[in-house]
Structure 1
Amino acid sequence: MAVVRMAGVSLVGPRDEIEAMALGLLKAGDFEPMSPEVMLSGGRLSSRIRTPQSNRWDVLLEKLERLRGLAGTPAPGRRALDGASGVPFPDNSFSDVSFSEISFSKLEERVNRLSRLAEVWRARLEHLRMEYGRCRAMLEFARALEALGLPPSLLASSPCCRVVLGSLTGENWQRLREIASAAPVLLLPLFENEGRTTVAAFCEASYSAAFEKLLAGVHMRVFETAMRELAAGGGAQLSDRLDFLEAEIGRCRDMPTLYTGENRFELERLYGVVYAMQRVYSLCRMGGEFGDMAVVSGWMPEEACGELRALAGREAPHTVVLTEDGASLESKGSELPTLLRNAPVARRFQEIVRLYSLPSYSELDPTLVVSVSFCLFFGFMFGDVGHGLALILGTWLMERRGWMGRALASVMKVAGASAVLFGILYGSVFGSEELIPPLWISPMKHVDTLLPVAVGVGIAFLSLGILLRIRSLARRREWGEALFSPEGVTGLAFYWLALAFGVLSLEGTLAPWESRIFIAVLALLFCAMLLGNVLARSMFRGESVDEGGVVHLFSVFHALLNFISNTASFVRLAAFALNHAGLCAAVFMLGQMVERVPGGKVFHALVLVAGHIVIIGLEGLIVFIQTLRLEYYEFFGKFYHGGGREFRPVLWRRSAQERGRAD
């Protein structure tokens, strides 16, 4: 229904033309690379192709992004792929550059020069921060001693006491405090800055060796010369020194931003070229090279092949475009990727199908049927105007707060709208059937109508599943299975005739001779199903049958029992509709019971609010699960296998996995 027809494509031509074509494919976003061996298997080129093992542009791009991170500037924003990506499309300033003119060695030299400059800034900033921490530690320690009336030089030069100034992380500071409580060590915290705690640690001179091991164990950054400077009276100008260091740190921190601002256009162009080449080689990584030529193969929608040939005519006149339709490649044993394309409303329910399994390439996509049936089943069981609106509002709030994914939230909003529609049909608003008149029936008052309708919906839905299975078998030209299996034409005819015979017999409208005709036809269809293997082998000689006789006999009886159990399973539609009405009635009764106690109106309101919240949350979840069961077991079990592989094109914007590998 919505599985896009795919084609295998190979581009063979000069390397610079292939790179230009790859850039166009990245912008289109509909090309998934594959090994050239799939398309060129057995050809004369296949033995000469060598495949690159890594993308050498990854390192250059990573260095440029580190420079951007150090400067605190976002990625260049020209023609962004979307409002949040910040990734530039190749624009006119890039399209005038020929790929043959791009030299990796020259670009690598420029990027390495920038990277070395960034390392100098980083090292300078780190040195200034360490010096600032050392000087501030000396100043704070001197002030603490002066507050006690002790000159810093006296304690710093004492032969009986060992004093160390240093900083460590907050976690290691807690560890040091725990260890020091059981050791002859005194700790004096001085200040905290950027997640690190600066402390003064004291111990006896005889404990110095163990003291050094202790500090090394908690990774304390020791200011080696601090105490010697204090002993020599070097703390007099510390305040001026700190002011100078603060100014230097600010200038050094702003230096990358100033540099990138002054050289913005040059750096944006450099980043754009490196980013483009990184994406081009990501697409070409599964391709290959032979001499001065290159080859890239991949999957793409058949409808896009015409645009690819037009692009080749404009950008790559010496490149050969080879295509082969997906059906031909699938017959050779290739596993084609699955790309689903549905209408916007139905697209919301693709995730419901994915939860079960993605359809394989040659399989029918049930998304459209699921989008209709899911709303029908959910609304049938949870029909209430107030509860449906509350479900929509609750879903919207959870999506806004990030508690629910966008795909699931979209499904729940549509399900809530379906509950509102059925609530209007039932005349139910928060369980009350007095506010609006029902447009159809009231579940509690018309059970005799609700139950047959639920079973009728189940019969139609099961029949649709069997019809889709027959169509799938016909597409694979498995005619024997399509005609004579219990879930084929013969089984469907048996199911319908058995239902008609049962209904007419209960009504007592069948004459004896009509009953005998029904029984005879049912017996004939049953025998056809039992002898289905023999009939298929004799009528369609090219069709093989794997099942043995005994296995086939049991599978026929199992399928007939499934007809009964699957049909009865749809009674749950009526049962949960009645359950919903009953729970609401119980909430109203509880509210009336507590209304007689002091403050009864308040308790009445609280019971109503709490009861309806429980109904919306708990019963809504149960109905959602039951709806999935009807879809997956009763419907998908008839015709759907899944097991497809998702179509994953290489896009202009890097995926989270690619960024993670780079980091």
Structure 2
Amino acid sequence: MLRAEVAVPVRMRRVAIVAPEQALRETLVRIAESGRVEVDLAGDGGPDIRGPAATRLQRLRAESAQPVLSDAPPDLDALERAGRTDLLAGEAQLEERLGSAVHHGAVAALAGWCPEAEVGATAARIAGAGGALVPLRTPRGVDPPTLLTGADTVRPRVAARTVRRSFTPLVSTYGTVPYADLDPTMAAGIVYVVMFGLMFGDAGHGLLLVVIALLLRAGRPRRLAALHRLWPFVAGAGLAAALAGVAYGEFFGPTGVLPVLWLEPLEEPMRLLAVAVGLGAVLLAGAYAAGIVNRWREGGLASALYATTGIAGAALYLGLAVGAGYMWLGEVVFGVVGAVIAVVGLVLAGTGLYATTAGGPGGAVQTGIQLFDAVVRIGSNVVSFARLAAFGLTHAALGAIVWDGTTALAGRGAVGVAAAVVVFLVGNAVAFSLEALVAGVQALRLEFYELFSRLFEGEGRPFRPWHLPVQHLTGSAAAEEETVRQGPAREESS
């Protein structure tokens, strides 16, 4: 059950917020405080809904403040005189939603979306105010908004929620995952740190990244506090780099501190290149598999069968891969089987592509060009993973240059030793900064262009729940509000 939940976006439910007229405000205040419901607005694509609070807020022309809601209807004039732009901003949002409600007799209702797992708790929350959360059928042709598992707005049900949350920006930076598609967050994060580690393979540099991750976790430095949630991501990249460094025998360069357990990049570049391209071929196969599932979930069998990112594209890729086996091993059977599978893939892909054209000779030409592009893209995408080896070699070369300079200076007396220390520290600092940036960008490029381009054909709409802090007027807060209300009256009487 948990595995199924983490493989797809959070299940959404279409809901209606229903309440008596006199209880609608309190119901919406509780909805805002829970932060679990995205409320549809009548102003989306229509006329602007501007109420008294929004008008007063505009008159103040103050810098935008964090909106806050009052649990009881406030005196808007008193808030304007007191300059409480936070409460006026909250009331303006509330007015927008009150103006979007549909009224029938003494009852009002609004539509929206709520995570299915949160419907019961949210319904119980607003029941105390006299409201109700009524599940509805999803309208035809309307895709629910997307919320990836592990996001802040919904309590995740998996132990790795912190890791998932740190990986989420990888996916959200590319775009919003369509609601029907698989959630690739965890897989994308793991693949990224593996690719980063191969290119940034140095145990010393990797451990420095782990230290940086621990500092982020502790909230240091404070100027980078906004990156706190990314610390597992940075730690994972550091550990992957450290493990690759152990395999390469690299510790702040080829210092000899670690033995070579697998291969030395500068001594066996072709072996590293073959491993990088082989890993890329496996990752592309996984991307095609996920693409087939996504096309099936989006449009059924026909969509999965004819799409170049579905079964058709996967068959073409498999056929070319088997054909490459013939070139590598010299076995004729690989060539024949590969050619048959590739032709089947071309026929299926051509059928799907031709159906999207205007038909006739022009459509046939367009289809032929697109098929040629699909074949070229497969080859170029596989070869593109050679950059894993190329930048791994670059990192090793920089480390070797720094270490050669260090050892050359160290044998020249006290001054030479001092110069060697400076070269070692500055050289590693430059190599660390430059290669971390390059490896980070290149891993992102491979993930976006080679892998995500096969997973997604469209983009979804992000789930944006209405969430505002609520000021409860109890005790001293109530007295303060009463002072704000009575202040002008006292001045007039005096």
Query: TM-score of the superposition, structure 2-length normalised?
Result: 0.76
**Mapped pair 1:402 → 2:399:** no
Q: Structure 1 residue aligned with 2:13, among 7, 21, 26?
A: 7
Match of 1:340? 148
Counting only pairs closer than 5 Å after superposition, residues 287-326 of structure 1 correspond to structure 2 as: 287-289=101-103, 292-311=106-125, 313-316=127-130, 321-325=133-137
Please say if residues 322 and 338 of structure 2, whose CA atoms lie closer than 8 Å, have aligned partners that are also in contact: no
CA shift, 1:26, in A, is: 2.0
SS in 2 for 1:421: helix
Please say if residues 17 and 315 of structure 1, whose CA atoms lie closer than 8 Å, have aligned partners that are also in contact: yes
Distance 2:57 2:440 in 1: 50
CA 1:635–1:529: 2 relative to 1, 3 Å? same
Calculate the aligned-residue CA RMSD, in Å.
Answer: 4.0
What do the CA deviations read for 1:327-354 (whole angstroms, capped 9, x no partner)? x32x33x464322223321221211222
Q: Structure 2 residue aligned with 1:455, among 274, 277, 283?
A: 277
What do the CA deviations read for 1:451-499 (whole angstroms, capped 9, x no partner)? 3321221011001111111111111235345234444324423433433
Please say if residues 320 and 339 of structure 2, whose CA atoms lie closer than 8 Å, have aligned partners that are also in contact: no
Please say if residues 338 and 359 of structure 1, whose CA atoms lie closer than 8 Å, have aligned partners that are also in contact: yes
What do the CA deviations read for 1:545-584 (whole angstroms, capped 9, x no partner)? 4472222222222111112111111112122222222211
**Mapped pair 1:23 → 2:20:** no
SS in 2 for 1:9: strand
**Mapped pair 1:465 → 2:283:** no
CA 1:3–1:609: 2 relative to 1, 3 Å? same
Please say if residues 383 and 577 of structure 1, whose CA atoms lie closer than 8 Å, have aligned partners that are also in contact: yes
Counting only pairs closer than 5 Å after superposition, residues 135-154 of structure 1 correspond to structure 2 as: none
Counting only pairs closer than 5 Å after superposition, residues 274-285 of structure 1 correspond to structure 2 as: 280-281=94-95, 283-285=97-99
Distance 1:619 1:23 in 2: 50
Distance 1:603 1:273 in 2: 62
CA 1:62–1:592: 2 relative to 1, 3 Å? same
Distance 2:406 2:442 in 1: 29
CA 1:602–1:285: 2 relative to 1, 3 Å? farther
Match of 2:422? 606
CA 1:505–1:284: 2 relative to 1, 3 Å? same
Identity %: 28
What do the CA deviations read for 1:375-406 (whole angstroms, capped 9, x no partner)? 10001111212111223445647961525851
Counting only pairs closer than 5 Å after superposition, residues 420-435 of structure 1 correspond to structure 2 as: 420-432=242-254, 434-435=256-257
Distance 1:436 1:89 in 2: 63
CA shift, 1:600, in A, is: 0.8
Please say if residues 319 and 338 of structure 2, whose CA atoms lie closer than 8 Å, have aligned partners that are also in contact: yes
| AA matched with 2:428 | H
Q: Structure 2 residue aligned with 1:575, among 390, 397, 411?
A: 390
Q: Structure 2 residue aligned with 1:622, among 419, 423, 438?
A: 438
Q: Structure 2 residue aligned with 1:592, among 393, 407, 424?
A: 407
CA shift, 1:507, in A, is: 3.4
Match of 1:54? 51
CA shift, 1:624, in A, is: 0.8
CA shift, 1:439, in A, is: 4.3
| AA matched with 1:54 | G
| AA matched with 1:626 | Q
SS in 2 for 1:633: helix
| AA matched with 2:28 | A
CA 1:279–1:635: 2 relative to 1, 3 Å? same
| AA matched with 1:323 | P
CA shift, 1:56, in A, is: 2.8
Please say if residues 247 and 261 of structure 2, whose CA atoms lie closer than 8 Å, have aligned partners that are also in contact: yes
Q: Structure 1 residue aligned with 2:366, among 547, 551, 562?
A: 551
Match of 1:414? 236
SS in 1 for 2:119: helix
What do the CA deviations read for 1:581-637 (whole angstroms, capped 9, x no partner)? 221111111223334656111111111111101100111111111101110111112
Q: Which moved more, 1:438-447 or 1:587-596?
A: 438-447
CA shift, 1:55, in A, is: 5.2
SS in 2 for 1:477: helix
Q: Which moved more, 1:371-380 or 1:464-473?
A: 464-473
Query: TM-score of the superposition, structure 1-length normalised?
Result: 0.58
| AA matched with 2:186 | L
What do the CA deviations read for 1:509-561 (whole angstroms, capped 9, x no partner)? x2xxxx1x444433433433443378669xxxxx9544722222222221111
CA 1:89–1:380: 2 relative to 1, 3 Å? farther
Counting only pairs closer than 5 Å after superposition, residues 200-599 of structure 1 correspond to structure 2 as: 280-281=94-95, 283-289=97-103, 292-311=106-125, 313-316=127-130, 321-325=133-137, 328-329=138-139, 331-332=140-141, 334=142, 336-342=144-150, 343-394=161-212, 396=215, 400-402=221-223, 405-406=226-227, 411-432=233-254, 434-508=256-330, 510=331, 515=332, 517-532=333-348, 545-546=356-357, 548-595=363-410, 599=415
Select the structure of larger CA radius of gyration. Answer: 1
CA 1:272–1:289: 2 relative to 1, 3 Å? farther
Please say if residues 69 and 90 of structure 2, whose CA atoms lie closer than 8 Å, have aligned partners that are also in contact: no
SS in 2 for 1:652: coil
Please say if residues 361 and 644 of structure 1, whose CA atoms lie closer than 8 Å, have aligned partners that are also in contact: yes
Distance 1:569 1:488 in 2: 21
CA 1:526–1:391: 2 relative to 1, 3 Å? closer
SS in 1 for 2:16: strand
Please say if residues 210 and 239 of structure 2, whose CA atoms lie closer than 8 Å, have aligned partners that are also in contact: yes
Please say if residues 530 and 553 of structure 1, whose CA atoms lie closer than 8 Å, have aligned partners that are also in contact: no
SS in 2 for 1:56: helix
Please say if residues 387 and 616 of structure 1, whose CA atoms lie closer than 8 Å, have aligned partners that are also in contact: yes
| AA matched with 2:221 | R
SS in 2 for 1:387: helix
Alignment coverage as a number of residue pairs:
441
Match of 2:454? 638
Distance 2:132 2:435 in 1: 60
Distance 2:279 2:337 in 1: 25
Please say if residues 529 and 556 of structure 1, whose CA atoms lie closer than 8 Å, have aligned partners that are also in contact: no
Match of 2:4? none
SS in 1 for 2:418: helix
Please say if residues 18 and 107 of structure 2, whose CA atoms lie closer than 8 Å, have aligned partners that are also in contact: yes
CA 1:61–1:25: 2 relative to 1, 3 Å? farther
SS in 2 for 1:379: helix
Match of 1:226? none
Unaligned stretches of 5+ residues in structure 2: 1-6, 151-160, 471-494
Distance 1:272 1:587 in 2: 56
CA 1:284–1:340: 2 relative to 1, 3 Å? farther
